[in-house]
Every structure is written in C-alpha cells, then in structure tokens.
Amino acid sequence: KTFKMISTTYRNHCKHFGLRMNLIAGIINHELGF
C-alpha cells in the first residue's frame, strides 16, 4: 500500500517535471525565434 502511494507520487512528479521542461523549451524556442 505504501509502495503504491510512493509510485503514484513519483509518477506525478515525473509528469510535472516533463510539463516544466516543455514550458522552458517553449520559452527558449520563442526567445530564439524558432
């Protein structure tokens, strides 16, 4: 039960991290005019 909670938290963290990376990449692309 604890393991399931940890894995869910980890998966949510990875998803949030991916969204943040996409946001940063989008800003960089916009700044560089890609």
Average pLDDT over residues 7-31: 87
Pick the more confident residue, 14 or 29. Answer: 29
User: Is 22 or 13 the better-scoring residue by pLDDT?
Assistant: 22
Cα–Cα distance list, 17 to 1, 24, 29 (Å): 24, 11, 18
Q: Which distant-in-sequence residues (6+ apart) come within 8 Å of 24 by Cβ?
A: none
**Residue 34 lies in domain:** 1-34
Average pLDDT over residues 20-28: 92
Q: How many structural domains compose the chain?
A: 1
- The reply to whether the predicted model has a pTM over 0.95 is no
